[in-house]
Amino acid sequence: MPLVLLVMLPAAAAVVLLLRGRRTDAAAPAIAVAVAVIDLGLAIVAAIARPSAEVTALNSIPGAVAVDGLAAIAMVTVAAVFLAVVVFACGDIGRGEARSRFFGTMLLFVAAMFVTVTAVNIFTLLAAWEIMGATSYALIGFWWSEPGKARSGLIAFITTRSADVGMYVAAGAALAAGAAGLNLARLDEVAGGWRDIALAGLALAALGKSAQLPFSFWLSHAMAGPSPVSALLHSAAMVAAGGYLLLRIEPGITATGWLGPVVAWIGALTALLLGAVAVAQRDLKQLLAASTCSQIGFIVLAAGVGGVAGGATQFVAHAAVKSLLFLVAGAWLAALGTKNLLRLRGAARTHPVAGITFTVGALALGGLPPLSIWVAKDQILSAALPASTALYTVGLAAAALSAAYSAKALAVIWTRPASVAPLDVRAGRIPVSELLPLPALAIAATVLGVLGVPPLAAAWSRTLGTPDAPTSPPWEFAMSATLAVTVIVLVVWWQHRRLTRSDELVADTAWLRDWLKMEAGIDVIVVRPIRALSAWCSRFDDRVLSQAVTTVGSAVLRLSRVVNARLEWAIAAAVAFVADGARRLATAAVRPQTGLLHQYYDQAIVGMAVLVAVFILMR
Amino acid sequence: MDAIAFGVCSVGSIAAGITVFRVASMARATFALLASFVLAAVPILLLGLTYLGVLVILMMVMEMMIMVVFMLMYMMNPAGLMPMKMVHNNRVSTIVAAVVFVVLAVGATVTPWPHGGRRSNADPTKALGLDVMGPHMLVMVIIGLVLFATMVSAIVLASARGRYDRYGDDLRVRPPQDPVQGGLGGRRRGGLQR
Amino acid sequence: MILSLYLILAAGLFAVGLYGLLSQQSIVMIMMGIELAINGVIVAAAAVWYFIVPGSPDAQTVVLVAMTAMAVEMGMGFAVTTAIFRARDVDMVDSASDLKG
């Protein structure tokens, strides 16, 4: 019951808001906040009660949702972040905007997200997955009338959708193998080949949704949407759903043997390379986006090596941290009108609350012990170390890079601006509704580190249903901690010096800033061939198919002309011949009628003679 | 005796017949025809059909008399002094006539005629009379009608003008609406003019 | 005197009459030819009566009918000749080709 309500309440509210349109603009925020609060309560209740629900859909495949340990954690996280984001959005999406559409779509998204995290079989997962994709497209392109925003939404949608083909393939493979109801938990019991295909397909879909390599470029475009959207979708919910899915099918991944290392390496490389990309960014939201890819890469790495506990911790911690950072970036964007790092110089000093919470979040992001993300990363790296030292090294390097970009951002916002800007530009106030959720998220970012403490860690693992995670030796902790602190301090000092001297950003490499030119690569490898193919198909249709129709028509015309010329002429000639013969016969028939009596007598006598001859002969 | 008579008469009859068409004079043609008829009636008499033979002779004599008048009336060549071509299609007619004669003669000789039936003792004339008054009365009645029709139509054809020409459609009209003035008669002659 | 001779006589009369009616131009001459032909029929009928059916007078009736036909033919023929003569002043059959075609 609480699970059903948890899903249906936002869904129903979304339907109402979306259908009513602009008329409910005034009531939309209130409705959304109310639903978010109720949902948080319901999520906590459901997390404790662990219910399940089922509705008959296809022949033997129900639409089933159930709450287990992992789902409980995810549900509560999503509900909490959703509440924070909705409260923020009350102030960010102001009066003149299409609030009904915004909040309606957000509610629909969160309903789909709940179903995704609690889905039992691939069918339910697929349905919710697709709804998430559709709503994210609508949310990214929220301001569709501005040029380029709709295109950004389209790029995001098409890229994730292309990756979702993997999920369809997985459903097909699972059906072919006869997996009972496509149950996710029983995928590892499926016979060999199909299992590999199914799991690979699911992994592909998850990687696409999580913006891992080589799909990462769509997250860059997704930053065109409003900041609340970035805070929810692109930190806690949608991109994290991919990592969540990988955590859920982790037993299956381990069972295949080959998929685990592949997934782990993809995650590690994403973490490393996208971390470098983040370091090179000039735009705060782009930096945060690249950082999201990098952090989710850690979750993917965890799923690959079997560290479900670490992955779950990272999921929760990253949700809190990244949503906080995105919200602050959005607040500054609304207040100061810019997301360019150089122009945000000293923003923390003019907006203290935002600045302090941003600092807390950035330090957590950088992996400063004992904040949440450091704990999570360490759990993951502990799981990675026994699997492969190379993985561990790459993960460690990625952690260092995350420290670097966090420090860069921190340095920029705390450095005093070069000159005192005019008051009207720098004095945009951040509304209270926007500031409200920030402290709570900051506290969460800090406090969630306790999940790494041994007694709690054991309870965590029990909740997740995984065996106890191997803890790494203390020297590993010490090394990572030292690494993080060192990098943060160094980079802060370096960036601060560069700013004060030349008002430039460090590590400003072009090809890194351009997201490793992935989009250009995809354009060449995928987009252009498809366009060429479609152009060829169009030409084929025009020249051959429609030409065929025209040719058939003209051929029929020509045939009819030939028939007319040859055949009908012959027929007409034959008819004329018959008519002519009849006419000539008629003319000849008139000739005996001379009017002269003796000739009539002659004819009569001849006729009589013939008759007599016949008569005689017949006797 | 009978055979000789038959032979002579038959030959004479045919010769006379041919003569009809070879002479130029109309009177001679008519009398040749008469001779042919009479000579043809003799074999009939020889067969014992007295009534019919006499009938033929009498009838033909009367006919020829009348025919002479008409021939002279229309052709105006009584003595044959004016030779005129009176035939057309001579060759074809000769051939046709010859062929027909040959076919009929051959048929007459070759055909197996049935043998004559029992001869009755009755007078053929009497038998004919009784037959005409009895079983074959219908024939006579129709012949009578035909003769009557002939008379009527002959007069109609031959008369130049009749009552209807004189009076118009209604015969009671007085005075008559005669398009030809001058009372009864044919064409206008010189005479009283009104 | 056998039947065949009588019939040959009849055939001869008929053939001569046929020649006449086919070749003569004048209507009156044609009538003469017809008369000759019918005469042949009369002779043949009489011969048939005598040689084949002497018991019944049927053949004599044929003779009577033939004679009537002669009379009728002559009467009508002269009437027609008169009418044509009145109309066209000729008595040639060649000029009476109105039924041509």
Residues 6+ apart with CB under 8 A from A233: A109, A136, A139, A222, A225, A239
Q: Which of A602, A603, A615 to mutate to test the interface with B (most CBs of B within 10 A)?
A: A602
Q: What is the mean pLDDT of residues A402-421?
A: 82
Identify the CATH assignment for C3-92 out of 1.10.287.3510, 1.10.3720.10, 3.40.50.1370, 3.20.20.70. 1.10.287.3510
Q: What is the ipTM of this complex?
A: 0.88
pLDDT at A216 over 60: yes
Which one has a higher pLDDT value, A61 or A135? A135
Which one has a higher pLDDT value, A506 or A71? A71
Q: How far is B119 from chain A (nearest CA, A)?
A: 30
| Contact check, Cβ <8 Å, A609/B93 | no
Q: How far is C100 from chain B (nearest CA, A)?
A: 18
| Contact check, Cβ <8 Å, B87/C24 | yes
| Contact check, Cβ <8 Å, A598/C22 | yes
| Contact check, Cβ <8 Å, C39/B40 | yes
Angle between helices A389-414 and A352-366 (to 10 degrees): 160
Q: What's the pLDDT score for residue A424?
A: 46
pLDDT band at A577 (very low <50, low <70, confident <90, very high): very high
Q: What's the pLDDT score for residue A508?
A: 75
Q: What is the mean pLDDT of residues B32-36?
A: 93
Tokens of A370: 């004992």
How are the residues of chain A apportioned to helix, strand and coil, as percentages rounded to the nearest 5?
80, 0, 15
Q: What's the pLDDT score for residue C44?
A: 94
Q: What is the mean pLDDT of residues A529-553?
A: 89
Domain ranges of chain B: 1-79, 124-179
Per CB-CB distance under 8 Å, the chain C contacts of B131 are 56-58, 60-61
pLDDT at A179 over 70: no
Q: How far is A612 from chain B (nearest CA, A)?
A: 10
| Contact check, Cβ <8 Å, A595/C30 | no
Q: What's the pLDDT score for residue B187?
A: 52
pLDDT at A533 over 60: yes
pLDDT tens digits, B6-20: 999 999 999 999 998
Closest partner CB to A593 (pick from C21, C94, C100): C100
pLDDT at A436 over 90: no
Closest partner CB to A602 (pick from B96, B103, B107): B96
Task: State which H helix or E strand residue C11 sits in.
Answer: helix C3-23
Q: How far is A580 from chain B (nearest CA, A)?
A: 33
pLDDT band at A108 (very low <50, low <70, confident <90, very high): very high
Dist CA A29 CA A490 (whole Å): 44
pLDDT at C6 over 80: yes
Task: Judge whether B121 is closer than 8 Å to chain C, CB to CB.
Answer: no
Angle between helices B137-158 and B124-133 (to 10 degrees): 80
Per CB-CB distance under 8 Å, the chain C contacts of B138 are none
pLDDT band at C53 (very low <50, low <70, confident <90, very high): confident
- Phi and psi, residue A53, nearest 5°: -145, 155
Q: What's the pLDDT score for residue C55?
A: 81
Q: What's the pLDDT score for residue B181?
A: 67
Q: What's the pLDDT score for residue B194?
A: 47
Per CB-CB distance under 8 Å, the chain B contacts of A597 are none
Q: What is the mean pLDDT of residues A576-592?
A: 91
pLDDT band at B185 (very low <50, low <70, confident <90, very high): low
Q: Which residues of A567-583 are buried (b: 16+ CB within 10 A; e: fewer)?
A: eeeeeeeeeeeeeeeee
Q: What's the pLDDT score for residue B183?
A: 56
Angle between helices A28-49 and A99-118 (to 10 degrees): 10
Task: Judge whether A614 is closer than 8 Å to chain B, CB to CB.
Answer: no
Residue B181 DSSP SS3: coil
Q: What is the mean pLDDT of residues B152-174?
A: 82
Q: Any idea what DSSP says for residue A542? A: I
Dist CA A505 CA A355 (whole Å): 19
pLDDT band at A180 (very low <50, low <70, confident <90, very high): low
Most confident of A597-611, B62-76, B122-136, C66-80: C66-80
Dist CA A312 CA A318 (whole Å): 10
Instruction: Report the mean per-residue pLDDT for chain B.
Output: 83
CA-based nearest residue in chain A for residue B111: A616
Per CB-CB distance under 8 Å, the chain B contacts of A607 are none
Instruction: Report the mean per-residue pLDDT for chain A.
Output: 85
Q: Which of A610, A616, A619 to mutate to test the interface with B (most CBs of B within 10 A)?
A: A616
Alpha helix ranges (H) inside B21-49? 26-46
Task: Judge whether B171 is closer than 8 Å to chain A, CB to CB.
Answer: no
Per CB-CB distance under 8 Å, the chain A contacts of C93 are 596-598
Task: Judge whether A503 is closer than 8 Å to chain B, CB to CB.
Answer: no
Task: Judge whether B192 is closer than 8 Å to chain C, CB to CB.
Answer: no
Query: Could you tell me which of A509, A492, A341 has the C-alpha nearest to residue A404?
Result: A492
Q: Tell the residue number behind the tokens 């860059």, with chain if given.
A: A220
Q: Tell the residue number behind the tokens 């409980």, with chain if given.
A: A72
Chains that touch C (3 or more CB pairs under 8 A): A, B
**A 532-551 near B (Cβ less than 8 A):** none
Q: What's the pLDDT score for residue A131?
A: 93
pLDDT band at A420 (very low <50, low <70, confident <90, very high): low
| Contact check, Cβ <8 Å, B127/C57 | yes
Share of chain A above pLDDT 90, in %: 24
Q: List C-alpha distances in Å: A264 to A163, A290, A298, A317, A336.
A: 18, 18, 9, 20, 40
pLDDT tens digits, A290-349: 999 999 999 999 998 888 888 888 999 999 999 999 999 988 888 888 878 877 877 888
Q: What is the mean pLDDT of residues A574-580?
A: 93
Task: State which H helix or E strand residue A136 sits in.
Answer: helix A122-140
| Contact check, Cβ <8 Å, B157/C83 | yes
| Contact check, Cβ <8 Å, B89/A605 | no
CA-based nearest residue in chain B for residue A616: B107
Question: Contact A462/A381 with Cβ under 8 angstroms?
Answer: no
Listed range (A34-43, A131-140, B75-84, C85-94) with the worst mean pLDDT: B75-84
Q: What's the pLDDT score for residue A454?
A: 73
Task: Judge whether B83 is closer than 8 Å to chain C, CB to CB.
Answer: no
Dist CA B142 CA B148 (whole Å): 10
- Phi and psi, residue A596, nearest 5°: -95, 125
| Contact check, Cβ <8 Å, B63/C15 | no
| C14 alpha carbon, distance to own chain's centre | 8
Give the angle A440-A446-A447 at the CA atoms, nearest 5°: 85
Which one has a higher pLDDT value, B115 or B142? B142
Which one has a higher pLDDT value, B20 or A477? B20
Closest partner CB to A595 (pick from C22, C30, C100): C100
Which one has a higher pLDDT value, B46 or A53? B46
Q: What is the pTM of this model?
A: 0.62
